[in-house]
């Protein structure tokens, strides 16, 4: 039997369930440097570096709908792209979750406690049914899990039978 990590145990106590999460890499200095260039310095050409690894990992997961974590409208306008959908390339995904905030304080600017206290920022697009579906959420970095748990909660509230997640790094 696999032991749950400390984060999963805390989330299970909080929600009564935990997110089956698949991180591909550790968030070490090399990954931090990569994300700084790709995500914060706008070096979009770096999006394909991990494409094959992401594609292979996603191919091993059973799901009905793959949903990337969205960015705010302000981030999309200022950065010019969603770093998650950029990394997915031509892997089929469906943008069903939207940010209800036009802008927000970036998670990377918050400490752990502030991240954990973040209110639900997401909405499901109108007219969408996730009834009985298995969802795979994809994000770039899993730090506290707060973002993915907000998205997963939304999916469960709209009828999903199972929600899993994958991140480039944790």
From residue 66, alpha-carbon distances to 8, 22, 110, 139, 166 in Å are 22, 14, 27, 11, 10
Please compute the mean of the pLDDT values over residues 53-64 and round it to a whole number: 98
Give the pLDDT confidence of 71-88 residue by residue, as tens digits. Answer: 999 999 999 999 999 999
Encode pLDDT of 23-38 as tens digits. 999 999 999 999 999 9
* d(C-alpha 139, C-alpha 132), whole Å: 22
* 112, pLDDT greater than 90: no
What's this model's pTM, rounded to 2 decimal places?
0.90
Q: How far is C-alpha 63 from the geometric centre of its chain's CA atoms?
A: 15
CA distance 116 to 121: 12
The larger pLDDT score, comparing residue 109 to residue 29, is at 29
Mean pLDDT across 140-169: 96
pLDDT recorded at residue 154: 96
Q: Residue 96 — pLDDT band, cuts 50, 70, 90?
A: very high
Residue 146 — very low, low, confident or very high, per pLDDT cuts 50/70/90?
Answer: very high
CB atoms within 10 A of CB 101: 14
Helix axes 146-157, 6-15, angle to 10 degrees: 40
The CATH code belonging to domain 6-169 is 3.40.50
The H or E element spanning position 168 is strand 162-169
């Amino acid at each position: 039997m696999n032991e749950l990590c400390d984060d999963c145990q805390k989330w299970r106590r909080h929600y009564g369930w935990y997110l089956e999460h698949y991180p591909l890499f550790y968030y070490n200095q090399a990954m931090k440097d990569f994300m700084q260039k790709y995500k914060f310095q706008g070096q979009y050409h770096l999006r394909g570096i991990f494409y094959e690894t992401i594609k292979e990992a996603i191919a091993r997961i059973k799901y009905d709908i793959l949903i990337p974590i969205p960015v705010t409208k302000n981030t999309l306008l200022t950065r010019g792209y969603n770093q998650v959908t950029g990394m997915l390339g031509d892997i089929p995904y469906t943008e069903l979750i939207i940010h209800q905030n036009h802008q927000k304080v970036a998670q990377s600017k918050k400490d752990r406690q502030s991240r954990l206290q973040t209110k639900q920022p997401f909405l499901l697009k109108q007219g969408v049914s996730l009834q009985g579906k298995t969802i795979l959420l994809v994000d770039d970095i899993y730090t506290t899990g707060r973002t993915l748990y907000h998205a997963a909660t939304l999916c469960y509230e709209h009828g999903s039978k199972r929600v899993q997640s994958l991140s480039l790094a944790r």
